[in-house]
């Protein structure tokens, strides 16, 4: 039986970034889905680069027809629709994202959620404002923590290949989660349509609802069930903020056993100090809490 030749994936050697790790993950998932053997080589050797089946983040060429995905050449390799320059991850995703997601919608949503953020970071574009000396601890920071320090042996291949299975798992989980989010949105939309008072949306499960609620101006609270407990959650002013459209009553903050006494709702058991979540043992109890919160003016 003739032995199948390995496909050769090439990226640069030396230090690694999130974009080359995630691009490696995309191509690994792609070829595994196809049942093809492959190897990943980290090098800048031009002969090895020229002989590869896929090349990204090195080589100075962007030619998707030939599976060349570099963005370091003069003029770069174009931008996403909103102007964020492509890095290797984005270029590989542009060609193969829909195929590994098995869905154009999932691919497009994950481009916004993950791909552009990593591409922006690789191109030196800030996506957030800092607060004093505090900055977000990002996926890039997590991956960079595995780089050798100045006191360690300068071998970047070992942590790169140790991290690759982890990065693949992140991508596969995000694809699965986005698929389930899209299915859930139909249930959430129906619950909104059927709500008599659209300030209060009652769900029959613990569905992700944030994106749907942001489309409508009326919803203030959402009730859902998780682990047999019924939750009242505040709708945020926007998806990038922790500020709520309407907080729960301030006198509920941090209350547990005494929440039932304060509210008159017998099975009320908890309210978060941040006034964005209250919990009751029954659906009826959660509805009563939400109705009280709607009536409250503080």
DSSP one-letter code for 143: H
Dihedral angle sign, alpha carbons of residues 82, 189, 289, 260: negative
pLDDT at 256 > cutoff 50? yes
Q: Percent of the chain beyond pLDDT 70?
A: 98
- Model pLDDT for residues 207-226, shown as the tens digit of each residue: 999 999 999 999 999 999 99
pLDDT (average), residues 108-131: 93
pTM, two decimals, is 0.90
Q: Tokens 């070829």 map to which residue?
A: 31
pLDDT (average), residues 186-214: 96
Report in angstroms the alpha-carbon separations of 91 from 25, 57, 59, 212: 13, 9, 14, 29
Within 13 A of 180's CA, how many CA atoms are on the CB side? 9
- Cβ(60)–Cβ(71) under 8 Å? no
Q: How confident is the model at residue 133 (pLDDT cuts 50, 70, 90)?
A: confident
pLDDT at 164 > cutoff 60? yes
* Predicted pLDDT at 239: 85
Q: How confident is the model at residue 4 (pLDDT cuts 50, 70, 90)?
A: low
Q: How confident is the model at residue 2 (pLDDT cuts 50, 70, 90)?
A: very low
- Model pLDDT for residues 170-180, shown as the tens digit of each residue: 999 999 999 99
DSSP one-letter code for 133: T
Q: How far is 140 from 130, CA to CA, in rounded Å?
A: 16
pLDDT (average), residues 127-147: 91
Mean pLDDT of all residues in the chain? 95
Q: Percent of the chain beyond pLDDT 90?
A: 92
* Predicted pLDDT at 1: 38
């Amino acid at each position: 039986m003739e032995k199948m030749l390995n496909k050769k994936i090439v990226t640069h050697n030396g230090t690694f970034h999130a974009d080359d790790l995630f691009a490696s993950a995309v191509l690994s998932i792609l070829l595994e889905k196809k049942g093809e053997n492959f190897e990943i080589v980290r090098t800048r050797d031009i002969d090895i680069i020229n002989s590869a089946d896929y090349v990204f983040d090195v080589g100075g060429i962007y030619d998707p027809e030939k599976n060349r995905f570099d963005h370091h050449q003069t003029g770069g390799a174009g931008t996403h629709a909103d102007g964020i320059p492509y890095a290797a991850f984005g270029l590989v995703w542009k060609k193969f994202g829909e195929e590994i997601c098995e869905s154009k919608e999932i691919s497009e949503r994950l481009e916004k959620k993950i791909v552009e953020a990593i591409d922006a970071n690789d191109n030196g574009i800030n996506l957030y404002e800092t607060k004093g000396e505090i900055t977000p601890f990002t996926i890039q920071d997590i991956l960079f923590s595995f780089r050798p320090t100045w006191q360690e042996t300068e071998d970047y291949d070992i942590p790169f290949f140790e991290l690759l299975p982890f990065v693949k798992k992140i991508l596969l989980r995000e694809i699965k989660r986005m698929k389930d989010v899209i299915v859930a949105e139909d249930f959430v939309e129906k619950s909104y349509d059927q709500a008599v008072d659209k300030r209060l949306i009652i769900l029959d499960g613990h569905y992700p609802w944030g994106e749907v609620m942001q489309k409508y101006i009326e919803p203030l609270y959402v009730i859902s069930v998780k682990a047999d407990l019924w939750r009242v959650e505040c709708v945020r002013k926007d998806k990038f903020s922790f500020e709520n459209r309407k907080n729960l009553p301030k006198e509920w903050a941090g209350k547990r056993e005494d929440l039932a006494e304060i509210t008159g709702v017998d099975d009320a058991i908890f309210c978060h100090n941040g006034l964005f979540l209250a919990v009751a043992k029954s659906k009826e109890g959660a509805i009563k809490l939400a109705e009280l919160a709607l009536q409250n003016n503080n």
